[in-house]
Amino acid sequence: MKNQLPKGYVQKDDALWLVDEESLGFHGSWKVNRLLHHEQTPFQEITVFENDALGRVLALDGIPQTSAKDGFIYNEMITHIPLTTHPKPARVAIIGGGDGGAAREAVKYPGVEEVTLVEIDQRVVELSAQWLPEVFGETMDPRIRPAYRDGNEWIREQEGTYDCIIVDSSDPVGPAQVLFEQSFYAQVYRALKDDGLMACQSESPFFHAHVLQKVVRQLRQLFPIVRTYLATIPTYPGGCWSFTLASKKWDPLTADLSRLQAHDTQYVNADVFLAAFQLPNYIRRLLAE
Ligand code: SAM
């Protein structure tokens, strides 16, 4: 392992910490019991560390992405909401999602025939399989087909192909920045079937309000139905996290919730599904603009 500390890691007294300064005036700090892996790939710096509260944590360029103990919240909410809203999802694509958690939830839907996992960095998939079985699962379901490509390039080769596209990206920095742009969303729209829908993680409605506002504004220019929903994710700055679903036809608020595959979920259920779309006034006002 290299001598110098990875990006974001600082020694404080006799302990090592990961400090995430990506939110204005807000430091997220995670105590590093053990730094298990550190690697620079052509796309980003990957670290895996152990933390008392979260278990093993995957971080990219010093920003925590997912953890053994709370990864289920994000992965259930970014997957079960769109896959229940669409009445018959068969062809699914996940852009990003290298930790494997979203794909693992997607294949719980019996009608799903294939999940194309478009992840730019193969090492994220390999290291998640090695260090984060709680997220990745024991093995990769045969319906999951990895495509180690830039999602912004791959999407341009797709037209009218997918029932659901899930944009499970890292934050809008580095390789994921393009996945928050209008040109990318227009390609997602084109890649979807006539009744297709997409869902994306749309950042913190408090610390990244401008990002959420931009995502929703851009999606509203393309899709007739755009709905933001929330979940509480301890790993992420401030805990409150947003997702946004954009649909050509199907509305999550009228979804057939008997399709929800919640028999073994730890977060989502039919009540949470509907409640997640009930937005507090400050977010309603933010998205009304
Ligand atoms: N669950 C995490 C979260 O809550 O933000 C994110 C899931 S996953 C770790 C995010 C993935 O997006 C990373 O593995 C990263 O390599 C991938 N990624 C970033 N930019 C990408 C791009 N342009 N195309 C494909 N994958 C990309």
Q: What is the 3-state secondary structure (H, E, C) of the chain?
A: CCCCCCCCEEEECCEEEEEEEEECCEEEEEEECEEEEEEECCCCEEEEEEECCCEEEEEECCEEEEECCCHHHHHHHHHHHHHHHCCCCCEEEEEECCCCHHHHHHCCCCCCCEEEEECCCHHHHHHHHHHCHHHHCCCCCCCEEEECCCHHHHHHHCCCCEEEEEEECCCCCHHHHHHHCHHHHHHHHHHEEEEEEEEEECCCCCCCHHHHHHHHHHHHCCCCEEEEEEEECCCCCCCEEEEEEEECCCCHHHCCHHHCCCCCCCCCCHHHHHHCCCCCHHHHHHHHC
Distance 275 CA to ligand 1 centre (A): 27
Stronger pLDDT, 86 or 25, i.e. the higher one: 86
What is the pLDDT, as a whole number, of residue 173? 85
Q: How confident is the model at residue 22 (pLDDT cuts 50, 70, 90)?
A: low
pLDDT at 277 over 80: yes
What is the pLDDT, as a whole number, of residue 237? 83
* pTM: predicted TM-score of the whole model, two decimal places: 0.96
Pocket of ligand 1, beta carbon within 6 A = 43, 60, 65-66, 74, 95-99, 118-121, 124, 150-152, 168-170, 175-176, 178-179, 201
Out of 75, 79, 169, mutate this one to test ligand 1's pocket (max ligand atoms within 8 Å of CB): namely 169
Q: Is 168 a catalytic residue?
A: yes
What is the pLDDT, as a whole number, of residue 1? 46
pLDDT at 274 over 80: yes
Out of 69, 153, 168, 180, mutate this one to test ligand 1's pocket (max ligand atoms within 8 Å of CB): namely 168
